[in-house]
Amino acid sequence: MLDECRLALQITDREYDPELCMLMDAGARDLKIAGVVLPGTVAFAATQDGMQDDSTLDDPLVVRAILTYTRMYFESPPDYDRLAKSYELQKTQLMHAAGYTDYGAGEKA
């Protein structure tokens, strides 16, 4: 997931990895607070060479929401308002979609 995040932000330098990992973790936690069940884990570990991504998250809608959250908070982007609206819409859709919460029944479409 860290590689996907760097790609989304058009970053090749690994010096931002700790901040990106922190933001992705915060995004995952924000979704959990909203009742979204994450189909996998978001897990990062610091190593001597930088950050190790042990995430097993594989749902493209959840990954996209976390990446949008990360873009929204990474280095004060000029399009913050647009990203914030996009993230809130993605989160709301996940909160109301069958199979993405633990308080509803049904399978993902």
- Each residue's pLDDT tens digit, 9-22: 999 988 999 999 99
Listed in sequence order, the residues at least 6 apart from 31 whose beta carbon sits closer than 8 Å to its beta carbon are 38, 62, 65, 66, 91, 94
Q: Domain extents for the chain? A: 2-96
pLDDT value for 108? 53
- Each residue's pLDDT tens digit, 50-107: 788 888 888 999 999 999 999 999 999 999 999 999 999 999 999 999 889 877 555 5
pTM of the model as a whole: 0.86
pLDDT value for 26? 94
